[in-house]
Amino acid sequence: MLFAGKIVFWEQIQIISLLPLLGMIFYFYKIGNSYLLKKIYNKKTGNKLIKFTGGLCLEIYLVQNFLITDKINTLFPINVVIIFIFIIISAYFLRCCSKLFYKFLNQKKLTTHLFLVFIKPYFL
């Protein structure tokens, strides 16, 4: 709140930072649309690997903050691989648990029971 009334020069020109971002987005689009990546995606193993990693994106995002550590920095080249593998395994475990939890909650009897116990008394 100290600088609320002042207009700083950098705030006025911050829209210029969107131009390099636009260039990066276009560059990554060109990489993703390249012949080499299309060839990898059309192979059976490459396709499964890309789909597996893409399917775990949410879970990887959720678990990575808790698992990234600097405790094994003495093993520098291999610590990145170890942490990455541990994140993938944890994300897959989280995905399996969430699917199991979803199946448990998706049962018709359980849903009706939860409605009768928790929701219906509030509307009487």
77-107 pLDDT tens trace: 888 888 888 988 898 888 888 888 877 777 6
User: Whole-angstrom Cα distance, residue 7 to residue 51?
Assistant: 47
Give the residue, 114 or 21, on which the prediction is more confident: 21
Q: What is the pTM of this model?
A: 0.57
* % of the chain with per-residue pLDDT over 70: 77
Q: How many CA atoms lie within 13 A of 69 on its CB side?
A: 11
pLDDT tier at 1, thresholds 50, 70, 90 = very low
68's CB contacts (< 8 A; 6+ apart) are 83, 87
User: Whole-angstrom Cα distance, residue 8 to residue 3?
Assistant: 9
Q: How far apart are the first and last CA of the chain?
A: 47
Give the residue, 34 or 108, on which the prediction is more confident: 34
